Amino acid sequence: MGTVTENKQDVNRLELEQKVKDMYRDVAQDPHGEFHFEMGRVLAERLGYSSEDLDRIPAEAIESFAGVGYYFHLADLVNGESVLDLGSGSGTDTFVAAIKVGTNGNVVGVDMTDEQRAKAEQLRDRDGFSNVTYRKGYIEEVPCKDESIDVVISNGVINLSADKNQVFREVARVLKPGGRLAISDIVTESQLPEGITCNATLWAACIGGAMQQDDYRAAIEKAGLAVEHVQDNSEYQFISDDAMGATQKYGVKSISLLAIKRGREAK
Ligand SMILES: C[S@@+](CC[C@H](N)C(=O)[O-])C[C@H]1O[C@@H](n2cnc3c(N)ncnc32)[C@H](O)[C@@H]1O
């Protein structure tokens, strides 16, 4: 069985992948069920999404929105750009990005969970978002060409990966020089103990895989990007007792971040 070590953590990758897929299949198909985390439009608005943007995208995608922050003010998307969304889920951020880059631009969403992609694809076709495509794949092995993307976005996903260094290497590979990484994700103030990091269930709930914030930033820089801005998203809170305990004890929190791929002046 494949296990991976990252920051003294050992989590069983196959077990983790199955738990994540099971959880996000339910997020796609039964968004009003019970989860460790909040979802939906009220959350999106509290995080910073404008009602104007949300009114222009499919309501069913927003019902399954499971992001952890707002980063579009950092991404600063421009008409005609190509965008990649890592862990695109039911599609909320791909649709918001599609509006911002217009029909001259394009958005690719990558997700490993079939039911999430199926839902996003069905909503895209119904509502005519012709500049959005979805690809089955892993964020550790992104199905995109080298230096083909202007902006990589991601919301609440990278914490779920057992190999974050590899995810950031992939981001650096697919971004054009000077391209941007604009994301929201879960990190911690102090290192999580192994009892939490080895627990695939807590990992799938966006807690167990959270990386210490300085290590997270260092992983991005090591991949070849310069971190320009980091902000805490105090509006995001976990809702289960387990999750709230970990939040208080280890400073599990949401951040939004902008980084630029080194190699050419940013736009
Ligand atoms: C917390 S949800 C966020 C979805 C979406 N970004 C949103 O804001 O609603 C995490 C998503 O990432 C996907 N995911 C998690 N780990 C992944 C991986 N290693 N490769 C590809 N997709 C992954 C899951 O299938 C799920 O759809």
pLDDT digits (tens, 9 = 90+) for 16-26: 899 999 999 99
Q: Which of 157, 171, 207 to mutate to test the pocket of ligand 1 (most atoms within 8 A of CB)?
A: 157
CATH number at residue 163: 3.40.50.150
Q: Which of 30, 160, 163, 238 to mutate to test the pocket of ligand 1 (most atoms within 8 A of CB)?
A: 160
Residue-wise pLDDT for 23-65, tens only, equals 999 999 999 998 888 999 999 999 999 999 999 999 999 999 9
Atom of ligand 1 nearest to the CA of 28: 27
- Nearest-CA residue for atom 14 of ligand 1: 87
- 160 belongs to a structural domain: yes
Atom of ligand 1 nearest to the CA of 90: 9
The residue segments making up the domain with residue 144 are 9-261
Low-confidence winner among 28-37, 124-133, 207-216, 244-253 (lowest mean pLDDT): 244-253
**pTM metric for this prediction:** 0.94
- 267 belongs to a structural domain: no
Residue 6 has pLDDT above 50, yes or no: no
Q: Assign 3-class secondary structure to the chain.
A: CCEEEECCEEEEHHHHHHHHHHHHHHHHHCCCCCCCCCCCHHHHHHHCCCHHHHHCCCHHHHHCCCCCCCCHHHHCCCCCCEEEEECCCCCHHHHHHHHHHCCCCEEEEEECCHHHHHHHHHHHHHHCCCCEEEEECECCECCCCCCCEEEEEEECCHHHCCCHHHHHHHHHHHEEEEEEEEEEEEEECCCCCHHHHCCHHHHHCCCCCCEEHHHHHHHHHHCCEEEEEEEECCCCCCCCHHHHHHHHHHCCEEEEEEEEECCCCCC
How many folded domains does the chain comprise?
1
- 56 belongs to a structural domain: yes
- 79 belongs to a structural domain: yes
